[in-house]
């Protein structure tokens, strides 16, 4: 038996066991996270972006909270010399605004000065030349320092992601092909240092965040977590997955099957912490968009309704497999007059949640408050 629950609040409450339970005995509380990565919002605001909902100008953090967003994901680079954003100062500003709006926060440590993703796990310049033991110490000290500093301001994140899309070995001196074998003794030592710092900082602050490890695309998750477990990397709470149809060999059913197996094998929560889908193939500016026609899948056209249905159906697939939520990447990266490293404007505005005419919120937000079928545990 399945239960229909309104997921506009942080937790799904009042689920009851389907058989063999005492009358009126509630099942354990189950938390569902439906959120967005808003790492670009501060930069967009500084670039003059204006966000509207129903034609009314709103603070974007408040807008997302009012639309049912309960988790904000934010990336953190170590010491980028090419941008003033995704620094600790910028992230602190975003955490404060997110929490003031009533949302929880997932802080994503990239452990790099730049984008970290499969094949791009470049060691921060400040740590170059360190041997493995010293590097593990630096990871621990940095992670602990960031979290304890945030806690001192009343801004401890609710979740902490130790590494971003760590399909390949972390903190390397140069890019490597994605199929390069991982030195798991070193990899586990470094990621383990980050996880221990999360535990220790949370304990010291009296506000322990949940710890997450994150792999891009579901087809790579099981072998990676098998290797991690074999090397003692088990002290975490959540498996984070990226799921982009453009780069994955799995359809929604495959994603769901993978999540179900991960839940059964490891007993960890599973959240899709990155996904996206275009609502148009047109560009608003001169910056080419990353998600084009090759991002489309059957039955989900590049329309606002197609984007909305993709998100609702994919979230249903995640939750039906005992997953714990979905985070969209990055729905507020709209077109402005500011430039990226690759061109003027945004490379993602066709996958955002705001129209081209007046940056007004679209129906894509509906996925945050849709009535999902959630199986009881």
Q: How far apart are CA 125 and CA 280, in angstroms?
A: 39
Q: Which of 43, 274, 316, 349 is the catalytic position?
A: 274
Residue 231 burial (10 A CB sphere; 0-12, 13-18, 19+): middle
Sorted by sequence, the CB contacts under 8 Å of residue 225 that are 6+ apart come out as: 213, 215, 239, 262, 265, 266
Query: Distance (Å, rounded) from C-alpha 347 to C-alpha 337?
Result: 13
Angle between helices 88-100 and 132-152 (to 10 degrees): 40
Which of the residues 43, 165, 330, 349 is marked catalytic? Answer: 165
Alpha-carbon dihedral of residues 312, 309, 64, 370, nearest 10 degrees?
-40
3-state secondary structure of 183: coil
What gap in Å lies between CA 228 and CA 216, rounded to an integer? 15
Whether 274 is a known active-site residue: answer yes
Cα separation, 250 vs 241, whole angstroms: 13
Q: Which residues are catalytic?
A: 165, 274
């Amino acid at each position: 038996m399945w239960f229909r629950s309104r997921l506009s609040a942080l937790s799904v409450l009042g689920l009851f066991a389907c058989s063999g339970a005492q009358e009126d005995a509630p099942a354990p509380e189950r938390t569902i996270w439906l959120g967005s990565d808003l790492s670009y919002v501060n930069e967009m605001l500084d670039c003059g972006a204006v966000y509207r909902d129903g034609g009314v100008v709103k603070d974007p953090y408040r807008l997302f909270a009012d639309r049912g967003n309960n988790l904000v994901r934010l990336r953190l680079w170590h010491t980028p010399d090419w941008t003033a954003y995704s620094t600790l100062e910028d992230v602190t500003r975003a955490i404060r605004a997110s929490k003031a709006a009533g949302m929880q926060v997932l802080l994503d440590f990239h452990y790099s000065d730049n984008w970290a993703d499969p094949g791009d796990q470049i060691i921060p310049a400040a740590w170059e030349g360190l041997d493995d033991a010293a590097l593990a110490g630096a990871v621990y000290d940095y992670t602990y320092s960031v979290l304890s500093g945030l806690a001192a301001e009343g801004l401890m994140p609710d979740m902490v992601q130790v590494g971003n899309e760590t399909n390949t070995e972390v903190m390397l001196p140069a890019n490597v092909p994605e199929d390069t074998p991982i030195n798991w003794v070193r990899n586990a030592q470094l990621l383990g240092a980050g996880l221990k710092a999360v535990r220790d900082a949370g304990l010291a602050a009296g506000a322990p965040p949940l710890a997450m490890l994150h792999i891009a695309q579901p087809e790579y998750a099981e072998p990676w977590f098998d290797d991690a477990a074999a090397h003692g990397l088990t002290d975490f709470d959540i498996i984070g997955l990226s799921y982009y149809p453009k780069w994955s060999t799995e359809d929604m059913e495959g994603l769901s099957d993978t999540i179900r197996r991960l839940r059964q094998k490891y007993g960890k929560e599973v959240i899709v912490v990155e996904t996206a889908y275009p609502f148009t193939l047109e560009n608003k500016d001169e910056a080419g968009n990353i998600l084009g026609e090759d991002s489309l899948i059957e039955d989900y056209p590049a329309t606002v309704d197609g984007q909305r249905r993709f998100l609702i159906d994919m979230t249903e697939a995640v939750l039906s497999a005992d997953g714990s939520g979905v985070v969209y990447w990055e729905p507020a990266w709209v077109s402005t007059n500011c430039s990226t490293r690759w061109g003027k404007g945004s490379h993602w505005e066709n996958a955002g949640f705001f129209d081209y005419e007046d940056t007004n919120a679209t129906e894509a937000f509906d996925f945050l408050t849709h009535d999902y079928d959630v199986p009881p545990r």
